[in-house]
Amino acid sequence: MPFAPEISVIIPHYNGVEILRDCLRSLYNSTNLSLEVILVDNASTDDSVKMVRAEFPAVKILPQSRNLGFAGGCNIGIRAAQAPFVLILNNDTIHQPGWLELLLDKIKSQPDLAAVQPKILSWQNRTQFDYSGAAGGEMDIFGFPFARGRIFENIETDIGQYNDLPDRIFWASGTAFLARRESLLEAGLFDEIFFAHMEEIDLQWRLQLIGYAIAVEPQAVIWHRSGYTLGAEAPFKKYLNHRNSLLMFLTNYKPLLTTYLLPIRILLDWLALAFSLLKFDFGRTGAILKSHGWILVHPQIICRRRRLVKGLRRGSDTEIMEKLYRGSVALDYYLLKKQAYTVLKN
């Protein structure tokens, strides 16, 4: 009988033998489901591939000749996957037993769900939320993402404060989310222009424009070594976050709403620039300026993406905005000192 996996696990990887070993051991020990595990190796320069071949022979390795980033690596894996459900998984995670079964039960029980994420806690501090997704991703109308349990650099301790909120969220973290493979293909997969950071938010925005929903399952828990591959203070990471947020904002709304919100979005970026200068954070200052420069010299990419979204769109911006925080999360956090729980309750 041919192998019929229930879930294809897609792990994009670039260097880090030990974290990958820990991840694979934990993955296999945490579930009894039938898995197809696909490692997309983005031209690692260490012994990662050699280790996997020796210690995890069941893993399918797709070696690449260059680093395609998170977005490109995931797309390679999704196209090669055999299962109806795919798990996008970071290589620096470990997992609570039974977590995948919980995710699979949820997505199977709700036909409108395209993707579901677990609760993501910090590997370094096991009681805190992780920066990259926490208890579910949210976003404000200006394209600034935050999460249940994390606003900007403020990260909360998990005391179950988000367990009983409605499970629908705006984005499921690329750290770990289970999705319907056909839905991802329908939405056009990850945009490889993003390379890394916020590509999952962009993809899931498109999924919601098609008519799907995104959810969190807080009873499923994993731990993440946030920032292992690209440190939180890395200038390239800051640049990608700013550029990709702006690119997503400019291309996923209809023209009228984009035109209405754009001046405020630019003002918020310039306020962030001024704040960074006052803090002598020249890495963020450069990231903001570089991201705006990239947008100005790539109008053809913005036009291409807008055509793609127009072809996919079935829902309205009004429906999308009902899922977003209607204020500015940046102003509410920095000026009014609101925390994620307060923001979500208002």
Q: Is 136 left (phi over 0), alpha (psi -120 to 50) or beta?
A: left
If asked whether residues 285 and 159 sit together in one domain, one would say no
If asked whether residues 128 and 266 sit together in one domain, one would say no
Indicate the SS3 state at residue 196.
coil
pLDDT for the residue numbered 228: 58
Indicate the SS3 state at residue 122.
strand
The per-residue pLDDT for range 52-77, each reduced to its tens digit, is 999 999 999 999 999 999 999 999 99
Over range 95-121, report the average pLDDT: 98
Would 250 be classed as within a structural domain?
yes
Range of the domain at 272: 235-345
Would 1 be classed as within a structural domain?
no
The per-residue pLDDT for range 179-189, each reduced to its tens digit, is 999 999 999 99
Query: How remote is the C-alpha of 243 from its chain's centroid?
Result: 15
pLDDT for the residue numbered 152: 87
Residue 41: pLDDT band with limits 50, 70, 90: very high
The per-residue pLDDT for range 319-344, each reduced to its tens digit, is 999 999 999 999 998 887 776 656 66
pLDDT for the residue numbered 110: 96
DSSP summary character for residue 39: E
Given 183, 199, 224, which residue is the final one in a domain? 224
The residue that leads in pLDDT, 33 or 4, is 33
If asked whether residues 217 and 242 sit together in one domain, one would say no
**280-288, Cβ contacts within 8 angstroms, sequence gap of 24 or more:** 283/233, 283/235, 283/238, 284/238, 284/242, 286/235, 286/239, 287/235, 287/238, 287/239, 287/241, 287/242, 287/243, 288/242
The per-residue pLDDT for range 202-243, each reduced to its tens digit, is 999 999 999 999 999 999 999 999 765 555 567 888 999 999
Q: Which amino acid, residue 338?
A: K
If asked whether residues 216 and 131 sit together in one domain, one would say yes
Over range 117-123, report the average pLDDT: 97
DSSP summary character for residue 130: P
Instruction: Evaluate if pTM is beyond 0.85.
Output: yes
CB atoms within 10 A of CB 162: 22
The per-residue pLDDT for range 244-297, each reduced to its tens digit, is 999 999 999 999 999 999 999 999 999 999 989 998 899 899 999 999 999 999
pLDDT for the residue numbered 235: 84
The per-residue pLDDT for range 127-158, each reduced to its tens digit, is 999 999 999 999 999 999 999 999 988 999 99
If asked whether residues 321 and 196 sit together in one domain, one would say no
The per-residue pLDDT for range 238-254, each reduced to its tens digit, is 999 999 999 999 999 99
Residue 171: pLDDT band with limits 50, 70, 90: very high
